[in-house]
Structure formats: C-alpha cells, structure tokens
Structure 1
Amino acid sequence: MLESFSNININLKFTIENEKNNSISFLDITIKSQNNCFQAGIYRKPTSTDNIVPHDSCHPQVHKTAAIRYFANRTVTYPLDVISKEKEQKWSEGLIQTTNTIGNLLKPKHNNKNDPYKQSGVYQLICPKCDMIYTGQTGRTLNERLKEHFNDFKHIYRKSKYSTQLLGNKHPIGQINEIMDVVYVGNKGSHLNTMEKFYIYKETTKGNQINDKNTVPTNKLFDVVILQ
C-alpha cells in the first residue's frame, strides 16, 4: 500500500513508523503499551529548544500567552499518567522561567572543568601594547591555533591579521595567558560561526578590531544584544 501511495507522485514519499520498546510517537504524544494497557506521555523531538515568544518581544500579548495556555491545557486534557502529568507540569513551569534568550545564547561560554586552551571555540587575541583585538575561531585546540599566530610573528610570515598588526607597528607579542581570551567554547559549526561574527562585530563597534573592516556587515540584532 505504501508503495502504491508513493507512486502517485514522485515528489512524495510515504513511510511507516514502527513501535520501539513498546512505544510509538504521533504528533506530540508518545503512546506506550504496558501491562496490557496504553499509557500516554508528551513527545518532544531531540532538537527541541523549549523556546517560546519572550515576554519583552514586540509580539501582541495574546501571542505571548498562547503557548503557555496551550501547554497548560494540554497537561489537563491529554490522557497522561500521573508521572507524565507531574513531569509536564514541572516542564511548563520551567519554560516560563527559561533563559534561552538571544542575549544569553551570545554570552561568553566557558568550561571551567577543563583547560580552555585545550578546547575549540572562539578566541580573542589582544595586542599587549595598543589593546587592539583580533577575533577568530578554530575547530582544533586553541593552543594549536595560537602556535600558528606565534609562528607567523616569529618568522614574519604575515599570514594572520594579528601578526601583521604586531609586525607592522613593531609591537611585542606576549604569553598565552596575557594575550588570549577564550570567549566561547564550542565545536565547529553554524553556531560557532555566529558567535565569531558577533564578537567581531562587537569589537568593530568599539573601533578596536583587527579583523577586516567588512568581515561583518551592519547587524541590527547584534546591536540590540550589545546595548542590553
């Protein structure tokens, strides 16, 4: 039957969902078969961020309360078991207090459990003499990336903007703990790209960034976060 449906239109592909561990998810419900009866729970995709319209946005108030009202109604109208209902109530309460705002997502993120220089992420290099700042990112360890900047400076390669700034102005280079600031720890990807652009843009507004002047165009969203 699935094959017949799929042959109707080559742009449509019908699939079938099989239960796993005696449970199957449909829309926002997970149905589980246990002890010859069915139990219902709330299903969320693994990629769910629990974000709703923030209270200080420009959306109408009715839009802001719609999601909260929906989640509250779902808790009492869906046939949830006692444990699932309590879990959903706690989740709804936490959702109202979430800190997943754009401003918080763009704040510096450090991992104090490990040496930050042995991780990847977004970093800033500060000129010891003029305090100009270069912002960059790396998917390797920050130690490795800094060694490349040191190598450029030592052998006068001028491959990096940072070494070019120091050599061009005859400024010295300092130790890693003196010149490198780890502003965000994370893996390579679109989020890290955004973090790098944000910190380049932030320093650009201060007039002290070493990166290319046209690296990041005008960004009103970044402006709002910087002014917070």
Structure 2
Amino acid sequence: MAAKGRGAPHPPGWWFRYVDDTHTKQKVEHVEEFIEHINSIDPDIKFTMEKEDNGSLAFLDTNTIRKPDGSLKINIYRKPTHTDQYLDLNSHHPNEHKLSVVRTLFGRAKSIIIEEQDLNNEMQYVSQALKKCHYPEWALKKGREQTSKPKSGTESKRVPGKAKSKGNIVLPYVQCTSEQLKRAFLKHNISVSFKPHKTLRQLLVHSKDKPDKEDICRLIYHIKCDGHPKDQCSMDYIGATERNLIARFMEHRRSSSTSSEVSRHIHDCKPGHAITMENVMILDHEPSWFERGVKDAIYIRALRPDLNKDGGRYQLSHTWDHTDDLEDPPSLPVGIKVGPSDKSS
C-alpha cells in the first residue's frame, strides 16, 4: 500500500486501487488527517474524497453496503442517469457481439454479488432490461449457461485432432455477407473477427476541418478528359499518388510530362483537349504504399480507363477477373470516398 509505505500516521484498514480510483477503509476520526497526508506526498497529485452515504459507498460499478451487524455485502451500482440501453438485438452488429452483452452482464453479477437474494434480483433486472432491447429468451438462457460453466484456467487447451489455426483476419461487418465469409474461412482454419464498417462517430463527428480536394494526398484518383467544344471526349485515366492531388494534376497537364499518358493525350494525340480539376474524382484514400497500389489496380481492373496502358504497379490475381463487368467503382471497406458532390471543395 502506497500510503502505508510513505509513513501515514494512521494507515487505512485497506487500500484498493484501480487506475485513479481507490476504495479505502479508515476510521472516521482519522479521515481528514489521512487525506491531508496523501495530498502532501506529491504537489501534482491531489485526491478528492467521497464518504459512505447511508451505509453504502459506490466504487466503479460496485456498491459496498455495510449491514447493521458490521459485515459488508456488494451489489451492482448504477448511476441515477443510467438508461439500461444496451446493444439492440436488431442493430447492425455481429451476433457474437450481442451475445457478449448478455454474457458480460450476467457474468458481472455472478462475480460481484455476494448474497443469493441480491444475485437473483440482479439477474431478473438484467433479463428485463435485455428484453426491452429485444433479446429473446434463448439468448438470455445461453448467456446464463455460459457464465455458469467453471473456468478452465488461463492456459488454452487444444482439442485433440483439431488443426492449428493458420491465423486471424479482421473484416468489416456486413450482415449476412460477413457470416458467409467467416464460415468459408473457418473451413481453412482461419479465425475471423469483425469490426464496424461505419459508425455514427465516423459519419457525424469530424474533429478536423475537411481538407480541400487539391490538398488531399496518398490517394487514388480518376481523371476524365474535358475534350473540346467541337470534339467531345470520354477518355479517362486512373492513378495513385503519394503527393497531394494538385501536384500530380499539374504534372498531367504539363506538355513536358513525357511519362504521363494524360499529357500525351491532350498535347499530342488530341491537341486542344484539356483536363480540369472539376473532372477529377478521388476514388479512395490509402496511407499505405502497398495497399494503395493494390487499390489502384482494383479500380483499373473494374473501370477499365482508356488511357491506362497497364494494370498498375501491382499485378492482380485472376480472382479479380469478375470485376471486368462492373460499371461502378468497387466499394472498398477502408479509406474515404469523395464523390462528384465534392467538386466545390
């Protein structure tokens, strides 16, 4: 105990700490003296104090209650503002995430609550709260059964005859599709975990101002030729760049850019044709050099731009041959999408 080690005049009966919260037992007449002592140890660390109220003291999600005979019991603590709003069964999340809510709430009750009557009351309370979130009886029953099984220890036991896992992959969760992919990977002993594809925070919260289109870097872009007032043109080009978009765009527009197929088109093949930023679309944003090359190759394979002479610096396998018939850009699970509506940015 830190306080005892630093010479507290009257050390507490116990000192339980979790991060910056402590649960302490101290005699009433020594409380002020003890709080003054621990606040004198470090000028940059100051403690505040909350005393028990009507024989109970909340600590994290537990409520320690002192009974009339002096013994203690522990119940679950919920703030007055708690709404019992848990992950809804109808929400777009994997079933294992939803079942883990049931398992966690029941497991917390069984690991914290001491007295049987309090445990029964808590289990009934949790069941009613989960039913309001549309959890069926079979999900509640499964959660109770899983928390009733004794733990087998920290060491994992391999099942005889079961092949060793070849690794784990993380996929964005898309209902119905992700479950099928998981079953397919499990046949090859590859574990699958899911992550949200899009969250409300990603859609609604923007901690930084959105950069101008020209200033975005590490991206895959799509350039369409503006043609000429008397000569319409549908030629296009897809590329990837580490630098910001405007720097790469100016290279394509210069007549001296001999390595640019776009420059060769507008200056040599079709003099008078031009390109403008209004007809440049950012298909995706990817910080990783390798993955940016893969995405570039996928977009080229899917959209088949006229001015691209090859499939990009990454050679795709024949698995991607089916993308030849796609008319729209593929929806990739990572990066940002900037559509035509962002022309004014």
**TM value normalised by structure 2:** 0.35
- The structure with the largest alpha-carbon Rg is 2
Q: Which has the higher contact order (CA 8 A, sep 6+)?
A: 1
**TM value normalised by structure 1:** 0.49
Q: Indicate the structure with greater helix content.
A: 1
